[in-house]
Structure formats: structure tokens, C-alpha cells
Structure 1
Amino acid sequence: MKQFESITELKRFLTVPYVEEIAVQSLRLTEIEPLMLNIRFSRCLFLGCSMSDDLLHHLLPGNFIFPLLDVPFNTYPSRLYDTDSLYAGFNRHKPETYLKTPDKVVYDYYRESRKNLSIKDTLAQRLHDHSITDSLHEYIASFDERKLVAIMGGHGILRTEHIYRQVALLSKSLTEQGYLMLSGGGPGAMEATHLGAWMAGRGDNECLRAVGILSAAPRYSDEGWLSSAFEVMERFPDPPFDSLGIPTWHYG
């Protein structure tokens, strides 16, 4: 089934009077509503798309419309998260601004949802994870599976510990050799994994300087933990390599 995650791509495709078995994900269809009203759709999926009542009634017969659920995140994300999307609104000079970032808001929602175990919440989380898994597979497909290296666990390791520096330098070296570094997206050794990948292409001394900046807040619970990470990104911007963190709902 062909998937569409951009209006431009979908509009280019809609040049025929009849369309069947496509999936349209998280798009604002009001932008191309006149075009769509003149096309007959069959057995198509529309996941979290915004549309007028007219277009909804046009699509309902013979198609599958999955609405957005009332939760503080997109139930059908069409791409993986990054720093900008998770920490939107964060100012490293004002650590309290973290409280209103999507990362914190969604984590607080998740912890609260665990108290009631509402079917709406569990369904929204599963639908979200299905879309993320789809994007994850698309991303991973561009890499040689023999070039994927994951470092998991070690979340209790402090930024000041020798092993933290070792993991960062190891990850840096592997990234420079063409490996994609992955982790469980947590602190400790997992954070060191992404620090090393971020610093790849620079000197080892610069990587250790970055560790020194982070060491001002060794523990995840320290107030300056996130701010120091943003300071590193500001001092060493535009990394030429990617890395991939795959966290869970449970740990935020």
C-alpha cells in the first residue's frame, strides 16, 4: 500500500478519477479538498488527517478514517522525533522551561494514564508506536544492517565516570568508521553513545571537552542535566553523523 506523508506528494499522485488502497498520514487535507472531492477513493486509509465535514462524508463510504484521539501527542506521527520536536520551547538558561516541553508533557500524561488504564490511552499509545515503528523501519532501511551497533543499559553511569568517557570515545570511533550507533535513549552509557556520535569527525580532545561540560551535572536528577547537554550542542553544532535512540514510554 503506497503511503503519503506530504501534501505535495499526494497532490502529484491525485491525477486520476479513481484511487484505491493508499494510506494518507497526518495531513491537512483541507489544502487540496476541491481536488479530492472530484476523485472516488476506495479501501484507503486516512490516519489522523484534518478534513472538512464535506470531505469526511465523501470519503466515509468504502474507506477507513482513523481520527486523532484526545491525547497530548500525534497518534499517527509520520516521522521520527528529534531534539527540536521533543524539547520545543526549552531554554537552557531557564531550566524550568522544560516543564512545558512536549517531552515532559507527554511523559506526565503517560504516568497519569497508568493510574486508570483507559482503553483510549492504551489504544492511542499503540497507534502512535505503530507509526513510529513504520518510520523506524524506513530510516533503518537506508543502512547496512551489519553497520548497526547498539549500546543498551548502563543508565546509572554518571557523566563523571571513566566508563562514560570510554563509551563516548568508542561510539565516536565507530561512527567515524561508518557505523550507526543506537541506544535505548536513556542517560548514562546510552547518552554517552549519542555524545560520541555527535562529536564524530572532531578530535578526541573536543569530545572530552564536551564530557567536561556535561560533568557539571553528573546525574539525570541534577537541575543542569538537560541544560548542559544543550550547551554542548551549541558549542559543537551541526554534527555530520546521525545516531538513533529508541526509548520506551516507561522511562520517558
Structure 2
Amino acid sequence: MPAHAAHHDDREIETLEEFDATVSARGTLAGFRVQAVDLTDRTRELLTTDTTGAVFLGCPMREEAAAKVRSGGALVFPPVPDLPFDPYRGLLYSPDDLFASLADGYESTPDARAHAWFQRTRGDRDVYASMLRAVHDDSVSDALDELLSGARVVGVMGGHAMLRGTPEYEGAARLGRELARSGLTVATGGGPGAMEAANLGAWAAPFDDGTLGEALRILAKAPRFAPSVTEWAAAAFEVRARWPRGGRSVGIPTWFYGHEPPNPFASHIAKYFANATREDGLLARSNAGVVFLPGAAGTLQEIFDNATPNYYESRGEPTPMVLVGRAHWTETLPAWPLLRSLARGRSMEARIALVDRIDEAPDALKRLGG
């Protein structure tokens, strides 16, 4: 049961266990929001419980139950048929959710089918399709906020081009493991490359140090997600099957970049249709700071997306920013000189750092107050 279920001040019900507990303890559903819960076998409870002002979002129920709750003053938004995703989902995705049917090829998975639906509908100006995307993304944001309530979150940003089997990938994985072992919740963009490596490190955090090395050797058999996402993902699930119940971390990917599948090492996946919502949400929730590994346009954008609220922060509490790779951020993509110029004389000046090596990032983050 989600951690927030015991003190439901938000009056949301997102699992059948929460539904049963609420009906048993309170004897009423008045004013509650029931989200994506299959109530087909709860007809008696629905017929005998007050539902005044309740809202049922995508909850399958028998017709007599639906008629009763509507007549009792509730709103019922029925499940949407023939969609490869649930727009009303109450919980974040797991890797198993998105990669179900992987044995039949990645194209058969819910993740691939959701992307295909997005590609068909994104340009047709159909208000119904755009509404479904918006409802889905808002539901994901709500679930993400509930998951991260009270957590100290550190973002790890970096490019998708970093290959398994490289020293850079291993370094990013060790970074994720160290951050997770220090009590932080690692959050990434949820895709391949540096993002996967950081999620992998957090997943390996509860195990002995040798586990990560063994996992890296298995993953190196499928170094990139092209041309076969199926083989790339299968290698990750081989690792997960060998060492189940890994550490918690968050991946926040998007279907906007269809060529980037989500990585299977984030225990919780907040996948969005709208990339702008995803980018802003990832950075805004990284309350313990952000580590920026070498990357290209996407990572560069994230640096300045994060710098903007820090620049205008008036309470003296900007989030720490650590850029890894002096040559990359001063010569290849010279973001550091501009960032330092922006920070000069402002409170964010004491919260930014440039380091040469990835193993220096955790100490730099601590020095900056992360």
C-alpha cells in the first residue's frame, strides 16, 4: 500500500486495498476521488456506501453500481476503451508495466504501443486525444509528488549516447550507487546511457560492491538500444532477475523522444507525453541538487532550465549544481563560463561547481549543501 494511504488527507484512493480500508474505517466515500481502481467486485460496497460528491476516474464497475453512484451525486468517468495506456492511472509505472510482452519483441510492449498511439494522434489536432494525454500526464505528476513526498532527491542528467561497457558508463553507475547509499533518491531522465547508468547504480546500492561489476559485464553484451531495443532491454531484465529487489530510484522519460526507450533500472517510472512537463518536473523535484554529466543539447538545456529558478531565487536557497567534465563544459560545450557569469554576485554563486572527474561529484554536492 502506498505510504500516504494511512493518512489520506488528500482524499485520493488509488488501490483496491485503500478502497477497502476507507470503506471499512470511515463508512463513506463522500468527497473521495477514486482513481483507476477496478471496482467490478465491489458492487455491494458501492450500493450501500454514501458517494455524495465522489469522483470515480477510470474505475471499472458494474452498471447497477455506476447508476447508483451517479444518482447519489457522484461523477463517473468510465475507462477509455482501446487505449494502450490508462489516462487515469493512480500510480507510477514499473519496468514490468512498460515492458510487458517483451518476449514477443519490444514492438509488442505497452511502452511501444503507447508511443505508436502518440505518433498517430500528436498531429491530428483532435482535442479528445490531446485531452487524454493531458489527463494522463497530470495523473503521473500527482503520483510522482506522492512518491517523493519528504524525500531528498538528487537529479543526475546526461546524454543517451553513453554506451554500456565503457568507463564513462561505469563511472555514472558508481555515482548513482554512492548517491543512493548516502540516503538520496536518485532521479534521472529515465532513458538509456548516462540516465540508465545512474538508475543502475541506485538499483545496485543494497548489494555488495561486486554486484555492480557483474551487472556491468552482463549489460555490455548489448551496449546500445539501437538497432534492437528488445536485446538491450532483455539484458537489463536478465540482471534484474539475477539480483531482484534492488534499490529505489526514479526515471522520468517521455514518449516525445520515441527513439529513447525507458531504462528498466528505475524502480518507479513517471513517463510523460509532454516533454516540457517532464523536463520542468524532473528539475523542480531535484531538491537536493543536480549533477550534470557530459551530454549534448538536452543536457545543455537542462543546465539552464535549472539555472533560471536559481538565478531568480530570492530566499537564498538555490539548489546545488555540479557540472562534471571540465573540458566538456568549458571547451566542447562551454556552458560553464556563461553559468558562472550568470551566478556572479547572486546567491546561486555559492551553489555551483565544476569538477574534472565523476568520482568528485558526490563530495562537491555535499560541499554545496546538497
Q: Common fold, TM-score beyond 0.5?
A: yes
SS in 1 for 2:51: strand
- Aligned CA distance change for structure 1 residues 172 and 40 (closer, same or farther; 3 Å): closer
Matched, 1:89 2:101: yes
SS of structure 1 residue aligned to 2:76:
strand
Structure 1: distance between partners of 2:214 and 2:21: 49
Match for residue 187 of structure 1?
192
Shift of 1:19: 4.6
Structure 1 residue 48, shift from structure 2 partner = 0.4
Task: Render the CA deviation track for 1:81-126: whole Å, top value 9, x for unaligned.
Answer: 11221111223xxxx5222111111111112222323222211111
User: How far, CA to CA, are the matches of 1:237 and 1:29 in structure 2?
Assistant: 31
Q: 2:157 aligns with which of 152, 164, 186?
A: 152
Is residue 22–residue 29 contact of structure 2 (8 Å, CA) maintained in 1? no
Moved more, 204-213 or 185-194: 204-213
The number of residues matched between the two structures is 244
Q: Does 1:69 align with 2:50?
A: no
Give runs of aligned pairs for residues 49-60 of structure 1, distance below 5 A: 49-60=59-70
SS of residue matched to 1:221:
coil
1:118 counterpart = 2:126: yes
How far did residue 72 of structure 1 move? 1.4
- Partner of residue 100, structure 1: 108
Match 1:28 to one of 33, 38, 45: 38
Does the 8 A contact of 2:36 with 2:59 survive in 1? yes
Given that residues 165 and 223 in structure 2 are in contact (C-alpha distance below 8 angstroms), is that contact kept between their aligned partners in structure 1?
yes
Task: Report if aligned partners of 2:32, 2:54 keep a CA contact under 8 Å in 1.
Answer: yes
Q: CA-to-partner distance for each residue in 1:199-220, whole Å, 9 max, x for gaps?
A: 1133444323322222222222
Partner of 1:226: 233
- Cα deviation code 1:137-189 (max 9, x no counterpart): 1110142x3xx111123111122332211111111111112111110101110
In the TM superposition, what are the counterparts of 1:138-149 in structure 2 within 5 Å? 138-143=146-151, 145=152, 148-149=153-154
Unaligned runs of 5+ in 2: 1-9, 259-370
**Identical aligned pairs, as a percentage?**
34
Indicate if the aligned counterparts of 1:5 and 1:27 stay in contact, CA closer than 8 A. yes
Name the Cα RMSD after superposition.
Answer: 2.2
Offset of residue 18 of structure 1: 6.2
- Taking structure 2 as the reference length, the TM-score comes to 0.61
2:23 is aligned, of 14, 17, 33, to 14
Aligned-partner Cα distance in 1 for 2:109–2:65: 33
Contact 2:46 2:69 (8 Å CA) reproduced: no
What is the letter of the counterpart of residue 143 of structure 2? S
Q: 1:203 to 1:6 in 2, by over 3 A?
A: closer
Structure 1 gaps of 5+ residues are none
> Residue 237 of structure 1 aligns with which residue?
244
Is residue 2:54 matched to residue 1:44? yes
